[in-house]
């Protein structure tokens, strides 16, 4: 338990012991909010301002502080002193160090993990790329936030289902087949992959400006897909395969995988009963020839279900998909990691599910995120101003490789480490801000070994590993944790102590960046400790304690990086 929470709980207990009958006493959670860190460490590690209780206890803060100090019976955790109406706590630093480190080291790499999710299932819809389109940097956030959340929930014992809800339905695929039949060749497309498909699509639109019959031909091909015509299906499935083959390379580099690739087309034959049910429940109304669910009571535009021509849309498929997922996986939560531009879409979809009477509609959550720009430039597929994700990742690895060549020319397996650092730099940059904020990706920031970056945290991890290798060669006695009573050790221990709480908060808020922040703080605190203390000096019980702290730091950084999808090289 985080120390603040613990002191708050013990204060609540003490409060009860002194004033068992007092009405409206704050509980432990409220007390936790009142606890402060005094600006001057001489005033204690934490302070409780007793004026907060003056009203409910009808007593002066000075008297309250004195009473509490006299009754406080937890000197093993902290000493409590009354001063000017404050109850100041001085942690028992040695005990705190011992407890924290024993807990981390006994967990053997699982420190912070848990079983609270046992028996619960979380579906995560993330990455969800579009067929016949290159994987561009705009898809990085959905992929990495989703991947990280998945690892976080796994670590807390949940069963997770990773779903890549492919964008594989729409009239554009008719146009693409049409373009392929007119101007494409098998070899060209096989070789060019998604790039060749994109080029065909662009050509279709260019030529359609002068030849309006093309649109009709495109529609006719889409109709053939809808009807399951064998030739149309064969080409369509081949396009899908090519796209997924390309995407697999990117997923491999990022270490990302899915349990299901059931995309939009998967729901085509499952929509009819859902539309019927909407009709039976009296939710469908006609509007200008189309069928919609009216959401005016909710101050939202109507949710379009069937177009004038009877075609379903994106929302129809999402409603069907949600029902399918609940029936199939019985999820306790279904998360949609999708950019904030689709905010209205998901509010509409979730509201329609609620109106249909599904109590689990409240368990569907849109985990939205901001835009990514590149070196200060906004990206737009329409203007052709895009950055392909695999290019970005390859560049990152190459740049990391050049830095390694310069900094550690003698390193073994440079290629492997360059890959870990390059990808880590990109992923860290993506997950270092509150997800709803827009981010700008910049090489100089991402690859700076001294800033708040992936390489910096990885380097700190490697530094711990190197120290532990040296320590293993010494015959150190058992650790004397009381030696870790200095401010640097204590600051680091506190961050390590609250790491399990950070994981839970990140899970509750769907916010991987909290873990990025925590590992960065831990890395910085470790480096401060490292510069102030000669860790192995003396080879005594105090050195052994510093080594234990180093080992705990290494474990926590490794876990934290894992949870945000970054590898932790042991040497770099
Ligand atoms: N393919 C969509 C896009 O790239 C994202 C799909 C998100 N998931 C969903 N169930 N709608 O914009």
Domains of the chain, CATH where assigned: 3-91 (3.30.1360.70), 170-257 (no CATH), 389-563 (1.10.730.10)
pLDDT over 80 at 215, yes or no: yes
Q: At 566, list the tokens.
A: 């970054």
Alpha carbon separation from 146 to 123, 134, 392, 443 (Å, rounded) = 10, 19, 20, 23
Mean pLDDT of 292-303: 97
The ligand 1 atom at the shortest distance from the C-alpha of residue 346 is: 11
Cβ atoms 339, 368 nearer than 8 A? yes
pLDDT band, residue 135 (cuts 50/70/90): confident
Q: Catalytic site residue 240?
A: no
Cβ atoms 561, 567 nearer than 8 A? yes
Q: Catalytic site residue 136?
A: yes
- Which member of 55, 74, 120, 136 is catalytic? 136
Cα dihedral 223/228/303/291 (nearest 10): 70
Cβ atoms 240, 168 nearer than 8 A? yes
Q: Catalytic site residue 366?
A: no
Cβ atoms 374, 441 nearer than 8 A? yes
Ligand 1 mean position to 264 CA, how many Å? 9
Ligand 1 mean position to 531 CA, how many Å? 48
Ligand 1 is surrounded, with C-beta below 6 A, by 125, 128, 130, 165, 167, 318, 336, 338
Tell me the C-alpha distance between 302 and 295, whole Å.
Answer: 5
Residue nearest to atom 1 of ligand 1 (CA): 167
Closest to 552 (Cα-Cα) out of 98, 78, 76, 45 = 98
Mean pLDDT of 437-444: 92
Ligand 1 mean position to 336 CA, how many Å? 8
Ligand 1 mean position to 162 CA, how many Å? 14
**41: enclosing H helix or E strand:** none
| Of the listed ranges 70-79, 379-388, 472-481, 518-527, the one predicted with least confidence | 379-388
Q: What is the pLDDT of residue 295?
A: 98
- Which member of 139, 147, 366, 461 is catalytic? 139
Closest to 97 (Cα-Cα) out of 72, 73, 77 = 77
For strand 121-125 and strand 290-293, is the pairing parallel, antiparallel, or unpaired? unpaired
Helical spans, DSSP H, in 184-229: 186-192, 194-208, 213-226
Residues 34-87 have pLDDT tens digits of 999 898 888 999 999 999 999 888 999 999 999 999 999 999 999 999 999 999
The ligand 1 atom at the shortest distance from the C-alpha of residue 321 is: 10
Residue nearest to atom 6 of ligand 1 (CA): 128
pLDDT band, residue 384 (cuts 50/70/90): low
Ligand 1 mean position to 128 CA, how many Å? 5
The total of other beta-carbon atoms located within 10 Å of residue 419's CB is 20
**Angle between the N-to-C axes of helices 499-509 and 140-155, in degrees from 0 to 180, rounded to the nearest 10:** 130
pTM: 0.94
Q: What is the pLDDT of residue 382?
A: 58
Residue nearest to atom 5 of ligand 1 (CA): 128
- Which member of 133, 165, 333, 558 is catalytic? 133
Query: Which burial class, exposed, middle or buried, applies to 163 when counting CB atoms under 10 A from its CB (0-12, 13-18, 19+)?
Result: buried
Ligand 1 mean position to 340 CA, how many Å? 11
Residue nearest to atom 9 of ligand 1 (CA): 165
């Amino acid at each position: 338990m985080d120390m603040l929470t613990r002191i708050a709980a013990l204060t609540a207990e003490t409060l009860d012991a002194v004033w068992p009958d007092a009405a409206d006493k704050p509980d432990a959670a409220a007390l936790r909010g009142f606890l402060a860190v005094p600006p001057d460490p001489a005033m204690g590690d934490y302070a409780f301002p007793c004026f907060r209780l003056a009203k409910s206890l009808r007593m002066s803060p000075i008297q309250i502080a004195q009473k509490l100090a006299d009754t406080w019976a937890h000197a093993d955790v902290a000493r409590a002193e009354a001063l000017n109406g404050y109850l100041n706590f001085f942690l028992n630093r040695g005990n705190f160090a011992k407890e924290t480190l024993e807990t981390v080291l006994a967990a053997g790499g699982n420190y912070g993990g848990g079983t609270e999710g046992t028996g619960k299932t979380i579906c995560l819809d993330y990455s969800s790329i579009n067929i016949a389109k290159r994987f561009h940097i705009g898809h990085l956030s959905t992929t990495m936030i989703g991947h990280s959340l998945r690892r976080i929930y796994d670590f807390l014992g949940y069963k997770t289902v990773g779903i890549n809800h492919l964008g594989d339905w729409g009239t554009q695929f008719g146009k693409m087949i049409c373009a392929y039949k007119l101007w494409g060749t098998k070899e060209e497309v096989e070789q060019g992959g998604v790039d060749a498909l994109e080029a065909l699509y662009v050509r279709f639109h260019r030529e359609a400006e002068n030849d309006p019959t093309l649109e009709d031909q495109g529609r006719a091909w889409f109709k053939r897909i809808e009807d399951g015509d064998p030739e149309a299906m064969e080409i369509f499935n081949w396009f899908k395969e090519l796209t997924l083959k390309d995407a697999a390379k990117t997923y491999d580099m990022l270490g990302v995988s899915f349990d299901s690739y059931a995309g939009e087309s998967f729901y085509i034959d499952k929509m009819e009963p859902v539309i019927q049910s909407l009709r039976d429940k009296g939710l469908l109304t006609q509007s200008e020839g189309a069928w919609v669910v009216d959401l005016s009571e909710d101050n939202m535009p109507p949710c379009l279900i069937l177009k004038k021509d009877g075609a379903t849309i994106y929302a129809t498929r999402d409603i069907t998909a949600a029902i399918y997922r609940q029936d199939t996986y019985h999820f306790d939560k279904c998360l949609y990691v999708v950019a904030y531009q689709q905010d209205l879409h998901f509010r509409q979809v979730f509201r329609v599910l609620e109106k249909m009477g599904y109590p689990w509609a409240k368990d569907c959550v849109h985990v939205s995120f901001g835009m990514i720009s590149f070196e200060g430039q906004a990206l737009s597929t329409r203007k052709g101003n895009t950055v392909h994700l695999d290019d970005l990742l390859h560049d990152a690895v190459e740049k990391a490789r050049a830095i390694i060549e310069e900094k550690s020319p003698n390193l073994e397996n440079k290629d492997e480490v360059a890959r870990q650092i390059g990808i880590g730099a990109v992923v860290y940059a993506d997950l270092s801000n509150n997800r709803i904020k827009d981010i700008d990706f910049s090489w100089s920031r991402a690859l700076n070994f001294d800033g708040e970056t992936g390489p910096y945290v990885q380097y700190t991890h490697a530094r711990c590993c190197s120290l532990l290798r040296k320590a293993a060669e010494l015959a150190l006695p058992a650790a004397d944790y009381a030696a870790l009573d200095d401010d640097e050790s204590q600051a680091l221990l506190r961050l390590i102590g609250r790491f399990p709480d950070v994981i839970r908060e990140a899970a509750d808020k769907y916010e991987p960046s909290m873990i990025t922040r925590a590992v960065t703080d831990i890395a910085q605190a470790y480096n401060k400790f490292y510069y102030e203390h000669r860790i192995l000096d003396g080879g005594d019980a105090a050195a052994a304690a510093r080594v234990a702290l180093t080992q705990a730091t290494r474990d926590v950084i490794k876990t934290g990086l894992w949870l945000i999808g970054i590898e932790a090289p042991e040497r770099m």
